Structure 1
Amino acid sequence: MTLAWTYLLLVALAWASGEGIGERMVPTLLLASTPPVLWLLPAPMVLAWTLWRRQGRRVALAGTLLAVLGVGLLHWTPQSEGTLRVVTYNVLGGVQTTPDNLAAHLRTLDADVILLQEARFTRPGFEAAFLARMPGYHAQRASEVMTLTRLPVLDSRRVLLPGIQREVLVTRIQWQGQPLTVVNAHPGTVQVKGALAGEFASLQLTRDRRAAQVQALADIGAQTTGRVLLGGDLNTPPRGQVYRRLRAAYGPDAHDVAGRGPGWTFPSLYARIDHQFARGLTATRAQTLPWTLSDHRPLLVAYR
């Protein structure tokens, strides 16, 4: 019985601390950054123990169910087709693919807007060859992010992110006769690995730098009137203070509104760190595609 209650309380504490306190304290920052799939690892042992002892089964089942909910395995929303299709994809500099292959995959999506991160391609001639295979798309670039769209482009500007050599690309396009501001971003990540080596100063430094970058993104959202969409490899899980701040600045998370399952966009860590938030648009379908052209997976969202 004690084991079952301990498991339930630990899962509840991990979930509540990561959601409520998030990045404000180092321990809760680590909890917010830990993939929730780890919460499920003790479940078989706890369930087997309570079945053998014939006590605590309901408590163990409650803890397991809470962990399953935290992982997102039960997330299931209604889906329908939309008239605007947007994909965000960290392409890892193209090191795991070719211009032909990347362009061929993207063309199959019939996307109106394509947001790429780590698109500073390492091989000479890659970018030119890739863009030549994307007819009908206008390309805008800022640092290592690139936005491609087949919709009319009204204007585009770059915003420097503090504490990192990256820029945000803000592109205004015309959709259904009205402007739509599309923000393509790739803020830095918190060096959680440093905590394992006892390098807490590095952890806190990268946390503070990312907080400043998120503030810059929130300012863009606050200063933008009308419809706006933020997409990219945002290096934040769907919990914690940073995630809530971005959601408040730009609107609902497309996966929450129209996704199914855990939606892991960084499969090696069972993490969902690539997002789309939109204000003035309604997500009707969100899906993570099982591509292997990068260490990330693309997130395709349909809107109306």
Structure 2
Amino acid sequence: MRRLPETGAVLEVRRAVRSWLAEYSVGGGVAVALSGGADSLALTAAAVVEAESVDALVIDHRLQAGSGAVAAEAVAQALGLGCRSARVIAVAVGSDGGMEAAARRARYAALDSARAGLPVLLGHTLDDQAETVLLGLARGSGGRSIQGMAAYAAPWGRPLLGVRREVTRQLCADVGVAPHEDPHNSAPEFTRVRLRTEVLPLLEEVLGGGVAAALARTAEQLREDGAVLDVLASELLHTAAVGADLSIETLATAPPALRRRAIRAWLLAGGAKALTDKHLRAVDELVTAWRGQGGVAVGGGRPDSRLVAAREHGRLTLRMSDG
């Protein structure tokens, strides 16, 4: 294990990791998703000191020439920092939904398969959280879309959501490790890159600073509020249940915020996929604005049938329908 200097950046990142481990009662080993970038390197360095053991998982997306060499260097850095193990996992990235989304799906699937039951720590920072909130705000899908990333949604842990990106870079400099500079992180064709390099700096300038931190605080507050609403919506869902269906009368008398959350949970439990705000509001109208309209296809069907929510005899139903 490399002995870390007690600089301000090192101590801040270590405190963040230590607090996360204590809050979520993670007393054993952890896995760290290591890209070789500054954020994941800083996280790995701190986790080696604070956790019982650390296994580094390096995903090679094979999207750039020389990616194998970058992954191999990340493994060497992980072992040099004191990780118990480090290995490269090569993945095949598809094309559905664009390269960013496809790479994300491939990465998370590989990490989940390789983690051997351990929680996986991810190097998302406060700056990443701010960018996520802005992306969610642009989608206009309600409070849930701007709650940002959770500090822990098993098996994924994000200890650095309160740490700025500049701190992780400083830790790397203090420790003497050179982070890999991914060219994708400065490519303007990616929306998140433009948010990082153009939109957030402009907001900071116009609004007098502190924007990223304010966005992250907003996400945390909305997540806390959302947790309470989810509990109340679960109670409503239990009350409205009539077998696998839902009582229209019970739903119609509930506050909109709870009713829509209950309907959303019911649809997802019933197999709905890629559920959008448009889907949810259309199903909600079967309860609150009934004009004899037909059912709403909510995704999650099969090649020969659709999953459809409909209103039948005072109940909200979810059935497979041919066509």
From the two aligned structures, give the one with the greater strand fraction. 1
Q: Which has the higher contact order (CA 8 A, sep 6+)?
A: 1
Q: TM-score, normalised by structure 2?
A: 0.24
Larger radius of gyration: 2
